[in-house]
Structure formats: C-alpha cells, structure tokens
Structure 1
C-alpha cells in the first residue's frame, strides 16, 4: 500500500462562469472534473469562484452571479483576484492552484506555493506576463506543444486536460452529419469546417459560444453567408445537448488556425466514440491518434477526404484512447505530484492510497 499526503488545495476558478458550467466554459469543465477527482483521491479542496458551485468542494464566492455579460473586460478579473486573495488569507491550505488570469499577481505575497495552469497561449504578450511572474508561481502546461513555445518559463510540469469519461455517452452507430463545436473565432476555423463538409457532400451542424463582439463580427462575416440546408447553426449547446451532438456525429471537425494548447472538444468527441478530423496545429498530434481516433491533416484541402476516411474508424477505439490517456483521475494524479513536490516542506498528514 502506497502512502500519499492529504493536501488542502485552494482552487481558484476564473470569474466568468460557474463550476460546472451550464453551457460554454472549457476551463470550468476541467475544474469540475479535477475537483471531483482530487476529492476521490482523499484531498480537501476549497473552490473559489463566482456564482454557485456544483462540486463536492467547499465553495467561496467572489461574485454572487458570474459577470458573464462582461466577458473580456478587465475589472471583473481584477475584482475577482482581489476578492480571492482576501479569502485565501483566511484559509490554512498547502497549495493554491490558480486558473484565473489576474490571480497569479497576488502569489508573491503568500507563504504557500501557487500553481498556475496556463490554459491559453504561453508566448507573445501572455508569455511575457508569465515571465514577469518569475518564481512566485509554478506554471503547468497543458501540452508539450504549449511548453515548447516558451521553454524558458518557470514550468513545474505538464498535465494534459482530461474529463470524467463516464459522463459522456458512447454511441457505436452514427448519424451522417459532421460537427463543429467551439467558439466562433477565426482561430477555430468554423468557416473551413463548413467548406470541408460541403466539399465532402456532408451536412454540418455548428454549435458554440457566440457572446463577445468579435465573435459576432466573425460569425456575421464568415459563417452566416455560408449557412444553408447543409450547414446549420444550432446555437450554444449546454452540457446535455453537447453530448447528444457529439455522440451522434460522424466526426468532429477541428480545423484550428492557431497553436491551440489543448482543445477539450477533441477528447469529449472521442469519449463519445466520435473520431476527430483536425489540422496539425498545437496539441493535435498529442491528442489524436491518426488512423485510430481521427485523421490529422496538414492543409485545409485535405479535410474533405479526411471526413470520408473518418467513417471507417472504430468508435470503441476512440473511447478506449480517452479512457487510457485523458481520464480525470489521471489528470488529478498528475497535479497531485506537482502539489506534493512544491508543498513538500509543509509535510501534511499521510493518508493510505
């Protein structure tokens, strides 16, 4: 029997959506599964966020209601960080795990280590931000591809995002449509998904976040003119609708136009037995197993043939791949090792595994 340390972990969520999210909220979905998995491993978790929590963790709110309608503004992030910092001052924890943007700025003022998961880009202006934080935080990358773009940062480790696979329905028999699921941003390439599906003679359904002005601008300029009987926007899918769409789809289209550090929708699709057709950017080669769980293309003009090829892949292989590599307990154990290493000097009470 192995012996682990029972840790008290303060988990700081971003302020924009509840945990778990009601609809869009990739970080919040990860946090929900991470909190639940850490609790199963015997750790105490205190979650700091906005609105209400649906996790087993003790919950402390910075906002009574998430300021989702102000997404993209600076002040909600700053107020959230200041409020979280005050709440943290009254907690006796072994480690703080911060998933917010402004929160890490307060890390230098506390005695316990702060782990920061880099959910977005680690290069460019964001890279400079993390660089300036120095050794006040231990950064965790969510893919090797993300880490390689900024190898000089204070990385404490790499932990792939993951899901509770049991919450995703597996379906062997698929319907004929293809699916795009994600933010409506040029980076996500929804326009390429429509073009590829149309060239393959396949109907495509599109679902995802359409809130911020830039998203509406992109949608109106590049998506709306492409819609028709074979390309249908179905709105922003909540958790149940998302799972139905993913389980029934012939394949998920993921034609990203940037170095995406992870891409939760890929593992969500594969958990449903649905293969992924993607462009070779960011973490895609780490997540998709070509010829087994999807097809990885180098150019957009390869996507239509890939859509047809995806139909020959075995749904059970997709599900098994996620169970093996992207299950929430594996993610929690990855973070557990980082917590214990950084909080080692506090020597918490052992607990049998």
Structure 2
C-alpha cells in the first residue's frame, strides 16, 4: 500500500528524549517499510526514517527557540499533505484534530489515531462536527468519554523487539519512575511507596514549563526530604535500557485516565514488572501477577514491591513478546488500512487482541 504517516512537529521522529507519539510513529513507519509498503513520512527535518521523509520544519519545533506558535507549521504541513493526497491509498494522521477541516473531502482515505486524553469537554462538540473521520483509539478505556463517533478500531502500541534488551536480574535493586513530572503522574505517590518499602527510588523524568511550579512547590521538596530518592532528569533511549532493566520494578502510580502508558511496555520489554494504579488503560496493558501488579492503594503498592522481587522476569518479557511488538502493531494497522481502502464501512468494532501463548525462553 501507499501510506502517508503525518507526525506532530514538536519532536523529531523518533524523538531525542521525551515524546511518546513521535516514538510510536517512528516504530510504525519503519516497520511498515520492512513489511513492504511504500511509506512517506511528513515530519520535522531532523527525523530519521526508512520511509521517504518530507521535511515540514527544519528541526523539531521544541528545539527551535525562534518558534513561538507551532500551529502555522502544522498548517503548512497539512497543505503539503492535501496537495499530495492523490498519491496515497491511506493517510494516517497522528496530530489529533488539526487536519479535519483541511482534508474533509477525502476523509474516507484517512485514519486518525488519537494519542491523548479524550475526557475534555471541548472535544465532544468537535468530534460530533466531523463524524465522517475514521478514528483509532490506543486503548478501549480511552473511548469512554467520547460521543458516538466513527471508531475504526483499537490498536495497542508496540515496540521493536530488540529496542530494549531483556535483563534477567534487577542488578540495581531500586524502584524506577520514568516519564514526566506532572500531578496526574503522581511522582509523590512513587516517593511514598519507595519510602515505605525501604527502597531507593530513581526518578527519570521531563519537567515541562507547565509543570515547573508543581515540581518547585511539591516534588522537589519531597525529593530533598528523602535520602532514598534520586532525581536523574530526562534520559535518552540508550540510557532507558539500563535504567529500566536494572530496576526491581517500575512504579506507575497514576490517577488519571491514561490512554496507554508506553513506559509500561518499555519496562516489560526489559523484563521489569510494573506496579500500576488501576486507572485508564492499565488493566488492558498489564496482566496482573504475570507482567506486574494492578493496585488500588498505597498499601497494595508497597506489598506489590516485595512480591515483584520474586517475579519471573522471563515471563514478563514473554508477555511483551506476545502482545506488544511493533510487528503486531503494524499488522493491526494494515488490517485497518485495508478495510478503509476497499471501502468497507467502519463498524466501530474494538480490536480484540489475539490469544497468545507465552514463550518462557524468549
């Protein structure tokens, strides 16, 4: 198939540091090329891809201090996509909603993956106004706040199998928190869990400008008061393998409707079990007692830390191999593309993950 992938311009594809959406676009795009498809990637000029790259900004917008407003750059990118629409069988958008008015005349040959939270009241009238666009969710839970829309399927994220090597032992003996410092990610819970479990906590996280006050006023003082807590800062992909692989467990103590939670499957790829609060996509991603523990309280999380020490890390990795590889993600998207391309109407069916057997020697 001739496929266009349209990425956000805030980060390059893949991002140098934090950036979940751009990372997934990178993995999906390259895997589609490997599977024999003709793929064109619309992204920032510093992106790296096996596909044909159409540079839509010189560098990632977050890295350009002269950029004040990202919208003009995205609109210019969409004009390029619109002019070339006839060249593609499917155009796969990863930029939320900006493209809807501009490519409405060819909505039937588009797929839009919604990567963010959908529980915002402003979104309901918008999606009602554009009912013809086929939408893809990244978890079933993500759909709950939405009005009836043209759901094409749910496709879980996937990673290259060799991206994060399996670590059979947690050599570091610490708990890990990886991602972003923000109130909904609850690093304060992670600090309390580690303190009560008597373990070191390493926090590798990005601090956005919007969350600087939360860091300064809430989290930084907690870090200063706890000798067992080490703030590592934002890390890259190479550092991530060691950071996650050497951890006894990843703490994912969220209290918001997380659409997917990429860090959970990154930890699983390393063989590191995940201890996560029962919110959003967590019950869809984790197999309780197999790849980690789903908890409701701090007490349960502390108890799970001790259980995690005895978990079979081969089984954690085997669960990743069975459910969350990029090959599986690409196949699922191709199935959606083909249905769209041949003109079958989307029926809103949820993608049901294939039954899987676990290879304990993977």
Is the TM value for this pair above 0.5?
Answer: yes
Q: Which residue of 1 aligns with 2:212?
A: 216
Instruction: Report 1:97-136 matches (<5 A).
Output: 97-101=92-96, 102-110=98-106, 113-125=109-121, 127-128=123-124, 131-136=127-132
Instruction: Report 1:185-224 matches (<5 A).
Output: 185-210=182-207, 212-224=208-220
Which secondary structure state, in structure 1, belongs to the residue aligned with residue 244 of structure 2? helix
TM-aligned CA distance change 1:229 to 1:200, over 3 Å: same
CA contact (8 A) 1:30 1:161 kept: yes
CA contact (8 A) 1:142 1:261 kept: yes
Q: Tell me how far apart the structure 2 counterparts of residues 111 and 300 of structure 1 sit (CA, whole Å).
A: 46
Q: Which residue of 2 aligns with 1:163?
A: 159
Q: Tell me how far apart the structure 2 counterparts of residues 111 and 156 of structure 1 sit (CA, whole Å).
A: 13
Instruction: Report 1:9-158 matches (<5 A).
Output: 9-68=3-62, 75-91=69-85, 92-101=87-96, 102-110=98-106, 113-125=109-121, 127-128=123-124, 131-150=127-146, 152-158=148-154
Asked which structure has the greater RCO (Cα within 8 Å, sep 6+), the reply is: 1
Q: Tell me how far apart the structure 2 counterparts of residues 183 and 40 of structure 1 sit (CA, whole Å).
A: 32
| Shift, 1:167, TM fit | 1.2
TM-aligned CA distance change 1:52 to 1:69, over 3 Å: closer
CA contact (8 A) 2:175 2:248 kept: yes
2:266 to 252, 268, 284: 268
TM-aligned CA distance change 1:70 to 1:194, over 3 Å: farther
| Shift, 1:114, TM fit | 1.4
| Shift, 1:309, TM fit | 1.2
TM-aligned CA distance change 1:309 to 1:129, over 3 Å: farther
| Shift, 1:69, TM fit | 5.3
| Shift, 1:137, TM fit | 1.5
| Shift, 1:311, TM fit | 1.1
CA contact (8 A) 1:172 1:273 kept: yes
CA contact (8 A) 1:99 1:118 kept: yes
Give the TM-score of the pair, scaled to structure 2.
0.88
CA offset digits 1:38-85 (Å, max 9, x no partner): 1122111100011322110000111101111589x9931343133233
CA contact (8 A) 1:96 1:112 kept: no
Which secondary structure state, in structure 2, belongs to the residue aligned with residue 309 of structure 1? helix
TM-aligned CA distance change 1:70 to 1:283, over 3 Å: farther
CA contact (8 A) 1:62 1:84 kept: no
Aligned residues between the structures:
338
Q: Which residue of 1 aligns with 2:349?
A: none
Which secondary structure state, in structure 1, belongs to the residue aligned with residue 103 of structure 2? helix
CA contact (8 A) 1:9 1:93 kept: yes
Give the TM-score of the pair, scaled to structure 1.
0.91
RMSD over equivalenced CA pairs, Å: 2.0
